[in-house]
Chains A and B, each alone.
Chain A
Amino acid sequence: MAEPEVVIDVDEVSYTYAPDTPLALDHVSLQIRKGDFLALLGQNGAGKTTLAKTFNGLLLPTRGSVYVGGQDTRNATVSSLAARVGYCYQNPDHQIFNTTVYREASYGPRNLGLPPNEVAARVDHALQLVDLADKKDAYPFLLGKGERQKLAVASVLAMGSPILVVDEPTTGLDLHGIRSIMILLRQWNQIEGRTIVIITHDLHIVAEYVPRTVVMAQGKIVADGPTRSILSDGAALATTGLKPPQITRVAQRLSHHGIPPDVMTVDEMLACLRTALSSNKDARTSQEGVSDAGWLQHLH
Chain B
Amino acid sequence: MGAPVVQVEGLTFRYPASDQILHGINLEINRGDFVGITGPSGAGKTTLCMCLKGLIPHVVGGTMRGRVTVRGMDTRKTEPSILAEAVAMVFQDPESQIVGLTVEEDLAFGPENLMRHARLIRDEIPKMLQTVGLIGYERRETYKLSGGQKQRIAIAAALMMEPQVLILDEPTSELDPLGKTEVFQVVRRLREEQQVTIIMVEHEVEQLADVADRIIALDRGCIVADAPPREFFHSAELFHRMEGARLPQVAELFLALEAEEFVGPADFTPYEEEAIAHLDRLLLRKRG
Contact = CB atoms under 8 A, between A and B. Distances in A.
Contacts of B40: 174-176
B177 A242 contact: yes
A273 B257 contact: yes
B16 to A, nearest CB: 13
Interface range on chain A (Cβ under 8 Å from partner)? 20 to 34
Contacts of B170: 172
Interface residues of B, number: 40
A175 B240 CA distance: 12
A145 interface: yes
B178 A250 contact: no
Interface of A: 43-45, 144-146, 171-177, 201, 204, 241-243, 245-247, 249-250, 253-254, 257, 259, 266, 269-270, 273-274, 276-277
B234 to A, nearest CB: 16
A176 B244 contact: yes
Contacts of A259: 283
B245 A175 contact: yes
B177 A243 contact: yes
Contacts, number: 95
Contact of B206 (A246, A266, A277): A246
A273 B245 contact: no
9 contacts: A44-B179, A144-B41, A174-B245, A175-B245, A241-B181, A245-B249, A257-B280, A257-B284, A277-B282
Q: 10 tightest CB-CB pairs across the interface, nearest first?
A: A174-B244, A241-B178, A257-B283, A176-B244, A247-B249, A246-B249, A174-B40, A44-B176, A175-B246, A266-B252
| SS of B interface (majority) | helix
A145 B41 CA distance: 8
B101 interface: no
B194 interface: no
Interface string B252-288: 1100110010100000000010011001101110110
Nearest to B40: A174
A245 to B, nearest CB: 7
